[in-house]
């Protein structure tokens, strides 16, 4: 991986002036991922409808220093795979220099990726397009009102998973999308967090370097939806890793490997992560003590399963 000094000289492909919230994890995720593309690489970007798209492309302005395609919530993967296929077709027809190299990347939130975009994403992965798909996971449909998604954690408040006498937040566990993508037998799939930028940039470099589809699932806090301090975005993203709430790992040619930083090898209690956000404040009431224990067990079981897959247990 390039040194931090070299990366600091790399041009930003997402520049300032956008309307994303202060402390938004999505913009941090994009900038870190794009550092992995390399300074001289030509990149074509597609972006599903969502916070990232609506806040960076307010007509007649754009914060993207790449060719940029906006598409619907559900078809970012289909769009970018179509562009990639067209590029290859034009090369075969002799209309584009066959030696020219382009990288194709799509960004989508968890609503447009875990849920309504899963079909087109699965198809793109199965067909083997030479693309990178990045999910910035902020755990809900933030752009349309903080509705729960299948990435919303168990016990979390959302506007469609209210907290009250009937239920204490979302009752279901979140979907394990990274494992689902790895099950497509693609060359590279990884889970990362903006709180550990070296790990994310390194994984992005690998994703852009492989021939064939690659998938990155990036933990990207949303201060507005999580009811947390925007100045603490990266600190919360680090804490998610250090409590094993969001383990970081990669699956390279079918081989699973944990990339857990040294300080997170012995996970801290998940309550330390949960208490940083208002969406979980109800979990610390006496009547929800059992649910808090269940969430800790969920985290422990998932991390233990990853360790087995990675041959560490």
Examine the pLDDT at 39 and tell me if it is beyond 90.
no
**pLDDT value at position 40?**
84
Region 113-117: mean pLDDT is 97
Examine the pLDDT at 137 and tell me if it is beyond 80.
yes
Task: Using a pLDDT cut of 90, give the percent of the chain over it.
Answer: 93
Helix (H) or strand (E) run with residue 109 in it: strand 102-109
**pLDDT value at position 6?**
74
Region 253-260: mean pLDDT is 98
Examine the pLDDT at 108 and tell me if it is beyond 70.
yes
191-202 residue pLDDT tens: 999 999 999 999
**pLDDT value at position 151?**
98
**pLDDT value at position 96?**
96
Helix (H) or strand (E) run with residue 71 in it: strand 68-71
Examine the pLDDT at 268 and tell me if it is beyond 70.
yes
Gyration radius of the chain over CA positions? 19
Task: Using a pLDDT cut of 70, give the percent of the chain over it.
Answer: 99
**pLDDT value at position 220?**
98
17 token code pair = 């002036």
**pLDDT value at position 218?**
98
Measure the CA–CA gap between 283 and 292, rounded to whole angstroms. Answer: 6
- pTM score: 0.96
Strand, helix or coil for residue 118: helix
205-253 residue pLDDT tens: 999 999 999 999 999 999 999 999 999 999 999 999 999 999 999 999 9
Measure the CA–CA gap between 256 and 123, rounded to whole angstroms. Answer: 23
Angle 230-231-236 from CA coordinates, rounded to 5°:
80
CATH for 4-309 is: 3.40.50.970
Measure the CA–CA gap between 133 and 208, rounded to whole angstroms. Answer: 10
- The pLDDT-based confidence of 28 (bands split at 50, 70, 90) is very high
Residue-range domain boundaries for the chain:
4-309
- The pLDDT-based confidence of 7 (bands split at 50, 70, 90) is confident
Examine the pLDDT at 30 and tell me if it is beyond 90.
yes
**pLDDT value at position 184?**
98
Examine the pLDDT at 8 and tell me if it is beyond 90.
no
**pLDDT value at position 79?**
97
Examine the pLDDT at 76 and tell me if it is beyond 80.
yes
**pLDDT value at position 298?**
98
Mean pLDDT of the chain: 96
**pLDDT value at position 2?**
67
Beta strands in 153-273 (DSSP E): 188-193, 214-219, 249-252, 255-258
């Amino acid at each position: 991986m390039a040194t931090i000094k070299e990366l600091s000289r790399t041009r930003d492909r997402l520049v300032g002036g956008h309307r994303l919230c202060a402390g938004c994890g999505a913009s941090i995720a994009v900038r870190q991922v794009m550092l992995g593309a390399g300074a001289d690489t030509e990149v074509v970007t597609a972006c599903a409808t969502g916070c990232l798209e609506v806040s960076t492309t307010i007509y007649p302005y754009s914060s993207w220093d790449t060719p940029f395609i906006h598409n619907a919530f559900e078809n970012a993967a289909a769009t970018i795979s179509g562009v990639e296929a067209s590029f290859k077709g034009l090369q075969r027809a002799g209309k584009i220099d066959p030696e020219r190299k382009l990288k194709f990347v799509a960004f989508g939130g968890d609503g447009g990726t875990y849920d309504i975009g899963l079909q087109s994403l699965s198809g793109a992965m199965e067909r083997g397009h030479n693309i990178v798909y990045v999910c910035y996971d902020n755990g809900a449909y933030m752009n349309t009102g903080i509705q729960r998604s299948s990435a919303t954690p168990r016990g979390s408040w959302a506007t469609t998973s209210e907290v009250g006498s009937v239920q204490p937040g979302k009752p279901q566990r979140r979907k394990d999308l990274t494992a689902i993508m790895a099950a497509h037998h693609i060359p590279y799939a990884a889970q990362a967090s903006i709180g550990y930028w070296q790990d994310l940039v390194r994984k992005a470099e690998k994703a852009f370097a492989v021939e064939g589809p690659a998938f990155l699932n990036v933990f990207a806090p949303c201060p507005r939806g999580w009811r947390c301090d925007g100045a603490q975005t990266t600190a919360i993203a680090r804490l998610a890793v250090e409590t094993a709430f969001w383990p970081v790992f990669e699956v390279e040619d079918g081989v699973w490997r944990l990339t857990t930083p040294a300080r997170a090898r012995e996970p801290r209690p998940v309550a330390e992560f949960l208490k940083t956000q208002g969406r979980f404040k109800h979990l610390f009431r006496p009547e929800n003590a059992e649910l808090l224990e269940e969430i800790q067990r969920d985290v422990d079981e998932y991390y233990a399963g990853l360790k087995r897959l990675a041959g560490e247990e």
